[in-house]
């Protein structure tokens, strides 16, 4: 089901990028298909990443986790170097590394890296030091450093999305209530700091409160995009104006194919189209968390939960600020908004999630009973195995001793007598080997 939901969301994304990017393609002097074809190419690369991740063994994923974290940290540092990182002049954040025709966004890599490495680091094998409590501290320090590097890019929205992922990881890993609330408090203090700092980010909070209470005082300034998004949703009403018939994409809605693509969905497909998208992300969250509960070991369980939380929380943050429930943060709608790095990284992470679902004990039993699914046979997928786990959290509880009932009670008492050393009085009364020889 995870694969079906992911493919359906991705298909909707390609169609909506085609619809919302036509006008910008014409403005650039290209055909109406140009930006949609570019997005389709990135989706194909993402599907290749999906299949590669689907075929990887969980043990290999765990082995690569520290290397992936190191690569993410290097990229986060490189993007801050002038001349390497770009985007400050265009969108106000230095968030991309341009390599030929490709634009790499290190913060997207960082989210997947912290999810995989966190699942590995917070799932130590039996009797391995340090303890889980100390590991949570180390994880929090690494996460704070990475969130700080993302914030230095100027991409506060992605930094907040990263912080939400870290909070979910702490929750799933079993941190104490105090640590969990402390993490939420740190994020809340950061939001208050942005509100009081001034600038366009502070203006976004002001626009949010104005929109929340139904008043727009600056529809041509900071509130322009939010206001146009509201108008698009209102024009769509219940059944929409029809696919491809949006008026907002004719340069009324600046980020129609990116951050505010959900507004175009609501305008063209109406309320029911919006409910369909929300329902698909809800299904993805349900099946992802169910996979986490059924996983073979703690590592796979924690990785499934964090990857699910990463994608689903980002989706609902995006939808939330489009409909006015949250401040505008500028993050994309996963697998639907236009974006090369986002499509590739997100589909790759969903491949890992589907991989964990293939290794569920129930899925392995069904494969052994009914054979491999058609999708697996077409891609020549290897059969999922059930290796013995070395995870201390997935071992069955050992039972010490036998129940003390009936004859077992007497047998246990005799065993104890044989094991205990004789007392001093018993040693005096018992004959020595010399006496027995006499």
Question: What number is the average pLDDT over the span 246-273?
Answer: 86
pLDDT band at 361 (very low <50, low <70, confident <90, very high): confident
pLDDT in tens, 47-61: 999 999 988 888 899
Give the pLDDT of residue 303: 93
Give the model's pLDDT for residue 398.
39
Q: Label residue 127 by pLDDT band (50, 70, 90).
A: low
Give mean pLDDT, residues 13-42: 84
The predicted structure's pLDDT at residue 224: 75
- Alpha-carbon span 24 to 33, nearest angstrom: 10
Query: Between 405 and 16, whose confidence is greater?
Result: 16
- The predicted model scores a pTM of 0.81
Quick one: which of 20, 10, 13, 65 has its CA closest to 232?
20
Residues of the chain with pLDDT > 70: what percent?
A: 74
Higher pLDDT, 345 or 125: 345
User: What pLDDT is stored for residue 276 in this prediction?
Assistant: 95
Say yes or no to pLDDT of 391 above 50: no
List, for residues 45-102, the tens digit of each pLDDT value: 999 999 999 888 888 999 999 999 999 999 999 888 887 877 766 666 778 888 776 7
What per-residue confidence (pLDDT) applies to 345?
Answer: 92
Q: Does residue 403 register a pLDDT over 50?
A: no
Q: Which of 187-201, 248-262, 293-307 has the lowest mean pLDDT?
A: 187-201
d(CA 56, CA 349) in angstroms, rounded, equals: 12
**Residue 44's pLDDT is what?**
94
Q: HEC string of the chain?
A: CHHHHHHHHHHHHHHHHHHHHHHHHHHCCCCCCHHHHHHHHHHHHHHHHHHHHHHCCHHHHHHHHHHHHHHHHHHHHHCCCECCEECHHHHCCCCEEEECCEEECHHHHHHHHHHHHHHHHCCCECCCCCCHHHHHHHHHHHHHHHHHHHHHCCCHHHHHHHHHHHHHHHHHHCCCHHHHHHHHHHHHHHHHHHHHHCHHHHHHHHHHHHHHCCCCCCCCCCCHHHHHHHHHHHHHCCCCCCCCCCCCCCCCCCCCCCCCHHHHHHHHHHHHHHHHHHHHHHHHHHHHHHHHHHCCCHHHHHHHHHHHHHHHHHHHHHHHHHCCCCCCCCCCCCCCCCCHHHHHHHHHHHHHHHHHHHCCHHHHHHHHHHCCCHHHHHCCCCCCCCCCCCECCCCCCCCCCCCCCCHHHHHHHHHHHHHCCCCHHHHHHCCCHHHHHC
Q: What is the dihedral of CA 220, 223, 229, 234, to 10 degrees?
A: -80
Band the pLDDT of 252: cuts 50, 70, 90: confident
Task: Kindly report which listed range (10-19, 117-126, 194-203, 258-267) carries the lowest average pLDDT score.
Answer: 194-203
Per-chain mean pLDDT for the chain: 79
Where do the domains of the chain lie? Answer: 2-358
The 10s digit of each residue's pLDDT in 194-218 is 666 655 666 666 766 766 666 666 6
Mean per-residue pLDDT, 125-148: 80
pLDDT score for 10: 93
The predicted structure's pLDDT at residue 12:
93
């Amino acid at each position: 089901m995870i694969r079906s939901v992911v493919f359906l969301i991705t298909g909707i994304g390609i169609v909506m990028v085609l619809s919302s990017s036509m006008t910008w393609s014409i403005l650039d002097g290209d055909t109406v298909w140009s930006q949609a074809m570019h997005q389709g190419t990135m989706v194909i690369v993402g599907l290749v990443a999906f299949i590669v991740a689907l075929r990887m063994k969980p043990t290999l994923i765990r082995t690569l986790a520290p290397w992936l974290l190191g690569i993410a940290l290097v990229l986060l540092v490189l993007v801050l170097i002038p001349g390497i990182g770009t985007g400050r002049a265009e969108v106000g954040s230095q968030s991309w590394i341009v390599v030929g025709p490709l634009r790499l966004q290190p913060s997207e890599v960082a989210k997947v890296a912290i999810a995989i490495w966190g699942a590995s680091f917070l799932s130590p094998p039996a009797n391995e030091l340090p303890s889980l409590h100390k590991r949570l501290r180390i994880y929090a320090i690494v996460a704070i450093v990475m969130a700080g590097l993302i914030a230095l890019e100027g991409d506060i929205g992605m930094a907040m999305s990263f912080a939400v992922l870290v909070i979910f990881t702490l929750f799933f890993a079993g941190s104490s209530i105090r640590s969990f609330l402390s993490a939420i408090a740190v994020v809340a203090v950061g939001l208050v700091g942005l509100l009081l700092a001034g600038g366009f980010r502070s203006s976004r909070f002001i626009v949010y409160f104005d929109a929340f209470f139904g008043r727009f005082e600056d529809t041509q300034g900071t509130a322009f995009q939010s206001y146009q998004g509201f108008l698009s949703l209102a024009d769509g009403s219940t059944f929409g104006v029809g696919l491809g018939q949006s008026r907002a994409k004719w340069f009324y809605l600046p980020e129609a194919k990116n951050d505010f693509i959900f507004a175009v969905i609501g305008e063209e497909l109406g309320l029911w189209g919006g409910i369909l998208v929300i329902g698909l992300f809800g299904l993805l969250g349900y099946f992802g968390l169910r996979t986490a509960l059924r996983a073979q070991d703690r590592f796979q369980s924690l990785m499934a939960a964090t990857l699910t939380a990463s994608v689903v929380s980002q989706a609902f943050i995006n939808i939330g600020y489009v409909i006015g429930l949250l401040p505008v943060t500028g993050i994309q709608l996963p697998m639907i908004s236009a974006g090369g790095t986002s499509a590739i990284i997100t589909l790759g992470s969903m491949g890992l999630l589907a991989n964990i679902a293939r290794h569920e004990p129930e899925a392995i039993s069904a494969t052994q009973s009914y054979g491999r699914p058609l999708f697996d046979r077409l891609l020549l997928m290897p059969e999922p195995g059930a290796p013995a786990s070395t995870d201390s959290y997935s071992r069955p509880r050992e039972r010490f001793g036998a129940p003390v009932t009936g004859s077992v009670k007497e047998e246990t008492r005799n065993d104890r007598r044989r094991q205990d050393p004789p007392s001093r009085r018993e040693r005096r009364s018992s004959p020595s080997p010399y006496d027995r020889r006499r």
